[in-house]
A and B are shown apart, each in its own frame.
Chain A
Amino acid sequence: MRRALFAAIGFAALTGAASAQDLQRFDLIERGRYLAVLGDCAACHTAPGGQPYAGGLALQTPFGKLVAPNITPDRETGIGNWTEDEFVAAMRDGRGRGGKRLYPAMPYPAYTKMTRDDALSIRAYLATVNPVSHAVEVNQLPFPFNIRLSLVFWNALNFTPGRYQPNPQKSAEWNRGAYIVEGAAHCGTCHTPKTFLGGDKSDAPLAGATLQGWFAPNITTDPRVGIGGWSKDDLIEYLKTGTNAWTLASGPMAEAVFHSTSKMTDADIAAIATYLKDSGVGAAAPKPVTVALDGKAMRAGAAIYKDSCAACHRDSGNGEVNLFPRLSGSALVQSDDPTTLLRVVLQGSRAVSTSAKPTAPAMPAFDWRLNDDQAAALLTYVRNSWGNTASPISAGSVASARASLASAP
């Protein structure tokens, strides 16, 4: 009897979720829950109004639809009968069940940095989530894009699997921050510019990237277009509450703050801030010439600004802390890529609401009020006043932004 019991225990130990043998199951699951927050799994795997992690959120790619799968423990439609190794391979090697290659919509190029322990902790947590029977047809791309084999070539060029290697010359806090930023929180997936093949530009990490109507800004320490002007406390406040003395998170970052960063521990947020403030700058773009104030566009821009913007953003461009973003000295305003600026002015935007800062003020839309020339003049003015320096904006780029927003809000 006792032999059978021991055998049973041994078998469970081999196939059970607790690969970190020294963790009690409760701790493991709690750890996994937190790592899922760091990784923001819910953002894709939980459809709005849908069951947690049951998939179904459609991702519109230029080539058709991908749908995030069901990762609840349901055995038929979820990942309930996946092994440990299969789960880890999905997270870190981009390989699904049966070796199927995953599209890098799943950010395995970042998750690859995570330890096996961490991946399995997430698996342990997901195993406790309510199993939902929800069949998802993931690959809805049309031919030939639905042929996953093409990813072999993409992976060969752009994907290097491998765990995060700590830098012995940096502090433990710095390394923790790097582990999170480069791994679970996968900041580079949005913030690192992409090569023409869609892989990360390894020489310009976190230097900003445009994705379908939003510009995820430069979060290197560049003083003009990055977070060089932000203190560590500014960064911590932003990640924790969604706002700081400079700006408020909106758009896709509002979601990241709401679901992920605002729920991180203070220690982890501090670690991220430590890392980002010391991440080393990639190739900084050369500083453009400030547009002179007496040109026609600048004068028109000044009049428009005075009449339309100053009531919130002030004549000084200083805005109001935690309410109206500061435009003077703003990195986002001076970014070479004006995609976010155009979008916010034309269509408006709403800031994130967190428990610490619930206000969630919103920028109204101006597309009906300003024509292309006027919007271009206004943005040129804002980008080159109060000490700001950035390239002028053309009416043509406003027109393109309008068209893209109309087709894909």
Chain B
Amino acid sequence: MADPISSLLRISRRSLLASTAAFLSSASSVRAATVSQGLPWGPNTATPPVPVRPGPWFFFTADEAAIVEAAVDRLIPPDERGPGGKDAGCAVFIDRQLAGPFGRSDGLYMKPPFMPGAPTQGYQLSDAPAARYRAGLKALAAHINSAFPGKSFATLSPQDQDKVLAGLESGSIALDGVNAAQFFALLLENTIEGFFADPIYGGNRNMAGWKLVGFPGARYDYRDWVERHNEPYPLPPVSIMGRSDWSVRE
């Protein structure tokens, strides 16, 4: 421990002053409701995203996850261009989304009365995505059980899986208590989201989706490229959390 007197004596007035917030705004802190006499600011007050970590399923049961993983791999199949939905992490993405505010329909207007409306009036049912997946996957499992005795969706051949998915999409397969076409549309929408969203959300692993189409990702400066017409953009995609070139240790 440093000599206390010398440490004390290293004091200068400025060094003793408390956080910079005290300097920079004579009035409110950043999230106070009343703002006057200067723009509020405080360190680290932003809301950075929290990257998804790999690990056990948050929302899906093992059976549900098996169905979803198999489904996303048919919706976006692996081929010579790159990984399919499963290796790209689409099921992980959906799992984490359903466990969060999206799954709960946080922020949506969910007051009754719920009545069916015209197609122009939008979705009018009271079930949030989490509930829709539970019900949809359960009904799908039941359908597979009866249509393919002894099999589950994951153990069907890819061709049969495709047939089932097409049947859901068109509504020609009826699911018990669930509108098959609407459920399929939700699953497809979330799969695509997972494939192309920033990898921090669990999908688009290694930026597979972005590499497929040539989207440079979370870049923010193209000034030197606007007028370079008909030239491919050379830099690799980058995620909000960076890319492999950011690593010092290889």
Contact = CB atoms under 8 A, between A and B. Distances in A.
A adjacent to B, CB under 8 Å: yes
B242 A307 contact: yes
B11 A348 contact: no
Size category of the binding interface on chain A: 35 or more
Contacts of A250: 24
Contacts of A364: 46
Contacts of B43: 347-349, 365, 405, 409
Nearest to A151: B9
Contacts of B8: 61-63, 141, 145, 150, 198
Given A300-B245, A353-B38, A365-B43, A189 B13 contact: yes
B241 A60 contact: no
Contact of B14 (A141, A190, A408): A190
Contacts of A310: 221
Contacts of A352: 24
B24 to A, nearest CB: 6
Interface in A184-200: 186, 189-190, 194, 196-199
Interface in A361-399: 362, 364-365, 367-370, 373-374, 376-377
Nearest to B249: A373
Contacts of A304: 242, 246
Contact of B18 (A60, A104, A254, A365): A60
A7 interface: no
A150 B5 CA distance: 8
Q: Is the interface of B mostly helix, strand, loop or mixed?
A: loop
A230 interface: no
B39 interface: yes
Contacts of A150: 5, 8
A255 B24 contact: yes
Contact of A197 (B6, B15, B238): B6
A350 B24 contact: yes
A28 B43 CA distance: 41
B248 interface: yes
A59 B10 contact: no
Contacts, number: 167
A263 to B, nearest CB: 14
A169 B210 CA distance: 69
B114 to A, nearest CB: 40
Nearest to A189: B12
Contact of B9 (A104, A212, A408): A104
Interface string B41-55: 101101010000000
A153 B243 CA distance: 56
Q: Pick the most buried of B4, B219, B224, B242: most chain A CB atoms within 10 A of its CB.
A: B242
Q: Pick the most buried of B7, B16, B27: most chain A CB atoms within 10 A of its CB.
A: B16
Given A158-B9, A362-B41, A303 B243 contact: yes
Given A63-B7, A196-B6, A106 B13 contact: yes
A299 interface: yes
B26 interface: yes
Nearest to B47: A368
A297 B250 CA distance: 11
B13 A105 contact: yes
A250 B41 CA distance: 12
A284 interface: no
Interface string B214-250: 0000111100100000000001001011110111111
B238 A373 contact: no
A104 B38 contact: no
A311 interface: yes
A367 B247 CA distance: 16
A368 B12 contact: no
Contact of A59 (B13, B38, B220, B245): B13
Contacts of A198: 6-12
B246 A303 contact: yes
Nearest to A367: B44
A132 interface: no
A297 B38 contact: no
A48 interface: yes
Contacts of B13: 44, 59, 104-107, 186, 189
Contact of B221 (A57, A212, A311): A311
Given A209-B12, A369-B241, 17 more contacts: A48-B26, A49-B26, A63-B4, A105-B16, A211-B12, A212-B15, A251-B23, A252-B14, A310-B221, A311-B221, A350-B39, A362-B41, A364-B46, A365-B46, A374-B242, A374-B247, A409-B19
17 contacts: A58-B18, A59-B18, A61-B11, A104-B11, A150-B8, A153-B5, A211-B14, A212-B16, A250-B24, A296-B250, A300-B248, A315-B224, A353-B39, A365-B44, A365-B48, A370-B242, A409-B44
Interface of A: 43-44, 48-49, 57-63, 66, 103-107, 141, 144-145, 150, 153-154, 158, 186, 189-190, 194, 196-199, 209, 211-212, 214, 216, 250-252, 254-255, 296-297, 299-300, 303-304, 306-307, 310-311, 315, 347-350, 352-353, 360, 362, 364-365, 367-370, 373-374, 376-377, 405, 408-409
